[in-house]
């Protein structure tokens, strides 16, 4: 496949894509006929680097239609980000909102169920996302991690769904503001006031759209409250367990995500801080057990000298499956090899502090195409 890098003038916001849009390795990002809804989405795609197959461009020039390809798992994650963006931006009737938020929740649950290790990889390795997308990606990953943790704690399916939907919609009123803060690292007083009131604003929007699920609504309303009374917006001391889970996930993922003003916090330090804030909490215990000592996305040094990134957890938490990033001499590899670290020659020797190795690595590179 011969690829041509695309520029802004070749894509029209609000119009169906004439060709399949791919990353630099040829992996599908957006299928032909899909619509890019706004300039923010286009900006994020261009920042990542998007391409088209030269043969498809020639097809168009010859007057032949390009058939859309079936979206991969990674393309479906991308659709979740932009579905949330549309949900927050577009004026929707109550019926339209209910339908779209239900479809989005279903899509997140399906992606997590199909490949939980990929979900964890994506939430821990967010370097490839444009910072302006932070509000979108953060909410989607919070919903994914909430789904994993509530399932691990064996909550009822109905409760799992409610708390996952709360995590998905908790920031409906401040998604754009979160992106601005991630980029600029500062807010005006007016913006700080808006951020402080966003739980109530999200609840009001959900109620106007006809949401009546009390577990969902209460978790959104209380997701910034804390049992010590120092949370907001009301300083409550009685906070539902569902809201506590959403808050834990929200704060944890925020800490391990980079900002323009600071790097991402180390995963283990974020876990230690969570335990320090909620000692002996079953919620924190579930978080630590779910991720394990070497979760997908962790960069490691192997016994044979290769560097790699964890892609799958195994029966032995200390011996995951790793995709290589470098050879034994430390030189980047063109194609990742899979290493079973249960074998002595590929055993994990140390954590790799150099995050540059994986910073701009598309997940399709290490996982391959997953439909």
Of the given ranges (21-30, 144-153, 199-208, 332-341), which has the lowest mean pLDDT? 21-30
Give me the mean pLDDT over the 193-214 stretch.
94
Q: Is the pLDDT of residue 191 over 90?
A: no
Residues ≥6 apart with Cβ < 8 Å to 95: 210
Give me the mean pLDDT over the 86-100 stretch.
87
- pLDDT tens profile 101-121: 999 999 999 999 999 999 999
- The whole-number pLDDT of residue 302 equals 97
**Looking at the domain 74-291, which fold is it?**
Hypothetical protein af1432 (1.10.3210)
Closest CA to 81 of 46, 118, 45: 45
Give me the mean pLDDT over the 6-24 stretch.
86
Q: Is the pLDDT of residue 321 over 90?
A: yes
**Residue the block writes with tokens 């190795």:** 357
- The whole-number pLDDT of residue 23 equals 74
For 345, other C-beta atoms within 10 Å of its C-beta total 11
Mean pLDDT (the chain, rounded): 90
Q: Is the pLDDT of residue 19 over 70?
A: yes
- The whole-number pLDDT of residue 25 equals 66
Q: Is the pLDDT of residue 128 over 70?
A: no
Q: State whether residue 140 is helix, strand or coil.
A: helix
**Residue the block writes with tokens 């209460």:** 218
The full set of domain ranges for the chain reads 3-70, 74-291, 299-367
Q: Give the model's confidence band at 194: pLDDT under 50 very low, under 70 low, under 90 confident, else very high.
A: confident
- The whole-number pLDDT of residue 68 equals 83
Residues ≥6 apart with Cβ < 8 Å to 99: none
Q: Is the pLDDT of residue 90 over 80?
A: no
Q: Give the model's confidence band at 24: pLDDT under 50 very low, under 70 low, under 90 confident, else very high.
A: confident
Find out whether the peptide bond into 233 is cis, omega within 30 degrees of 0.
yes
- The whole-number pLDDT of residue 179 equals 81
- The whole-number pLDDT of residue 307 equals 94
- The whole-number pLDDT of residue 218 equals 98
Chain centroid to CA 149: how far?
15
Two tokens at 222? 């209380």
DSSP 305: S
């Amino acid at each position: 496949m011969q690829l041509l890098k695309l520029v802004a003038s070749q894509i029209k916001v609000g119009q169906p894509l004439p060709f399949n849009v791919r990353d630099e390795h040829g992996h599908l990002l957006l299928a032909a006929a899909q619509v890019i809804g706004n300039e923010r989405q286009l900006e994020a795609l261009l920042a990542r680097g998007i391409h088209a197959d030269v043969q498809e461009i020639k097809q168009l020039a010859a007057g032949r239609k390009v058939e859309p390809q079936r979206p991969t798992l990674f393309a479906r994650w991308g659709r979740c980000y932009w579905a949330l963006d549309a949900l927050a931006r577009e004026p929707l009737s109550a019926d339209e909102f209910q339908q779209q938020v239900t479809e989005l929740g279903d899509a997140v649950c399906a992606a997590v169920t199909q490949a939980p290790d990929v979900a964890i990889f994506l939430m821990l390795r967010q370097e490839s996302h444009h910072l302006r997308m932070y509000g979108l990606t953060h909410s989607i990953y919070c919903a994914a991690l909430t789904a994993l943790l509530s399932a691990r704690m064996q909550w009822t399916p109905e409760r799992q769904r409610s708390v996952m939907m709360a995590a998905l919609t908790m920031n409906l009123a401040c998604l754009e503001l979160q992106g601005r803060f991630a980029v600029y690292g500062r807010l005006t007083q007016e913006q700080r006031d808006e951020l402080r009131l966003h739980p109530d604003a999200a609840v009001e929007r959900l109620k106007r759209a006809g949401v009546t699920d009390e577990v969902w609504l209460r978790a959104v309303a209380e997701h910034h409250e804390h049992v010590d009374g120092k949370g907001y917006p009301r300083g409550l001391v009685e906070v539902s367990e569902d809201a506590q889970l959403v808050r834990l996930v929200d704060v944890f993922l925020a800490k391990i995500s980079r900002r323009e003003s600071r790097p991402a916090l180390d995963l283990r330090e974020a876990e230690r801080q969570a335990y320090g804030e909620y000692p002996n909490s079953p919620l924190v215990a579930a978080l630590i057990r779910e991720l394990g000592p070497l979760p997908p996305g962790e960069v490691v040094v192997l016994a044979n000298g290769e560097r790699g990134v964890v892609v799958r957890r195994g029966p032995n938490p200390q011996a995951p499956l790793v995709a290589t990033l470098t050879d034994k001499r430390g030189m980047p590899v063109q194609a990742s090899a899979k290493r079973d670290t249960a074998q002595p020659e590929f055993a994990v020797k140390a954590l790799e502090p150099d995050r540059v190795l994986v910073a701009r690595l598309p997940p399709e590179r290490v996982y391959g195409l997953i439909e």
